[in-house]
Amino acid sequence: MAEINKNEVDIVIGAVNADLTQFLSSWRPFFSGFHLIVVKDPELKDELNIPDGFDVDVYSKTDMEKVVGASNSSMFSGYSCRYFGYLISKKKYIVSIDDDCVPAKDPKGFLVDAVSQHVNNLEKPATPLFFNTLYDPYTEGADFVRGYPFSLREGVPCAASCGLWLNLADLDAPTQALKTEQRNTTYVDAVLTVPLKAMLPISGINIAFNRELVGPALVPALRLAGEGKVRWETLEDVWCGMCLKHISDHLGYGVKTGLPYVWRNERGDAVESLRKKWEGMKLMEKSVPFFESLKLPETALKVEDCVIELAKAVKEQLGSEDAAFTQAADAMVKWVQLWNSVNSSE
C-alpha cells in the first residue's frame, strides 16, 4: 500500500464505555501518529480512562453544548456520539471503529491494519456502474475482466469504505437470539464496489469515508424510542447508510465494502434487545420501497441539498406512517444546519 498522509486522517471513536485502555492499547501499532477524536457518550458519567502516547482530543457533553447548544446535544447520545466527531473534524478522511473491536488477524496470522486499508479503499476509484467479477480492479494483482468497457475503467471517486468483522456478526436481534452460537469465522480477502442503485445498511462499527465528498450525508437521524447501548438496539447507522448510498449514487460517487476486517467482541443480550429492535425492523420494511422509488431533483448538486431534499421526501411520504420518520426528517434538517454552522465558522 502507498504511504498514507497522516495529516489527512482523523480516527473517530465513540466512547460508550469509560475504560478505553485495552481498546487503544490493542490499536496502538495502527493508531500511532494519527490524530484521534474521542467523543464521550453524553450519558456516560464515569471519567474516561485513556492510556498515554496518543495524539487525542476528548470531547464531552460540555464540549458538545458549546458547539451545538444544549438543546442539540441529545442528537449525540449512545453510539451516535461519534457523529459529533464527524461534525468537528477538519480532515479529508474519517476512520471510525467501535470501542468493542480490536485488530483482526488475516489468514496468515498477521494483524490487519484497518486504518491503512480503509484509506487505500478511499483513495482508489470505485466502480458502481459496471460490476467487475474480480472484485476491486485497482487492488494489487487484480485488473478489469474481459468485456469491461474501457470507457468506464477510470471509475468514480470513492465516498465510503464499509469494513467487516470477525467473531460476532452484525445480525439483527431475532437472528442472533435464534443462533446464539453462530460466529463469523470466514475471512474473505476482497473489496468490491456496491452497484449503482443497490441499497445497503452501513454500520458504524468499522467504517471510513471521504468527509470532503460526503461528510453531511452521514447523518444521525432515525432513532427508536428508548434506543439502547448495544448494536442490536440501534437503527441510526442503518438509516444513515441508505441515505449515504442514495446520495452517493445521485452525485456520482461509489461505496466499497469488504476489507478491512476487525475482531468484534461480544456485548449485550440479543433476547433482551428483541423488544426494542422489533419496532426498528418494521420501520425498515417501510423504508426500502421509499428509497427504491426516490429520485432526488437534478438541482440538488451539493450533499447538503441532497440531505434537505431527502428529508422533505421522508416527511411527505413516510411521515404519516410513523412519527419516527417525521422526527428523522427534522433531525436531518437540523444536522445540515449544524454542519453549515460549524464548518462555516472556521
Per DSSP, the three-state class of 222 is coil
The residues, any chain, with a CB within 8 Å of residue 11's CB and separated by 6 or more, are 31, 34, 35, 36, 37, 94, 95, 96, 97, 115
Does 272 have pLDDT greater than 90?
no
pLDDT average, residue stretch 88-108: 96
Lookup: cell for 123:
483513495
Other CB atoms within 10 A of residue 279 CB: 15
For residues 274 and 86, the model is more confident at 86
Q: How far apart are CA 58 and CA 99, in angstroms?
A: 14
User: Which has more confidence, 211 or 321?
Assistant: 211
Residues in CB range of 130: below 8 A, 6 or more apart: 148, 149, 152
pLDDT band, very low/low/confident/very high, at 165 (cuts 50, 70, 90)? very high
SS3 category, 332: helix
pLDDT in tens, 4-38: 999 999 999 999 999 999 999 999 999 999 999 99
Which cell numbers in the block locate residue 102?
Answer: 480490536
Confidence of residue 79 (pLDDT cuts 50, 70, 90): confident
Banded pLDDT at 271 (limits 50, 70, 90)? low
64-81: burial string, b at 16+ Cβ within 10 Å, e else: beebbeeebbebbbbbbb
- What pLDDT does 182 receive? 85
pTM confidence score: 0.94
Per-residue pLDDT band for 236 (boundaries 50, 70, 90) equals confident
Across the range 115-140, mean pLDDT stands at 95
**pLDDT at position 121 over 90:** yes
Per-residue pLDDT band at 346 (split at 50, 70, 90):
low
Cell triple for 134: 474480480
Per-residue pLDDT at 183: 87
Asked whether residue 275 carries a pLDDT value surpassing 70, the answer given is no
Cα-Cα end-to-end distance for the chain: 33
* Predicted confidence (pLDDT) at residue 232 exceeds the cutoff of 60: no
- Domains in the chain: boundaries: 101-341
Which has the minimum average pLDDT: 178-187, 229-238, 282-291, 335-344?
Answer: 229-238
Per-residue pLDDT, averaged over 168-188, amounts to 82
pLDDT category of residue 98 using cuts at 50, 70 and 90:
very high
| DSSP calls for 152-212 | GTT-B-EEEEEEEEEES----HHHHHH-TT--B------EEEPPTT------TTEEEEEHH
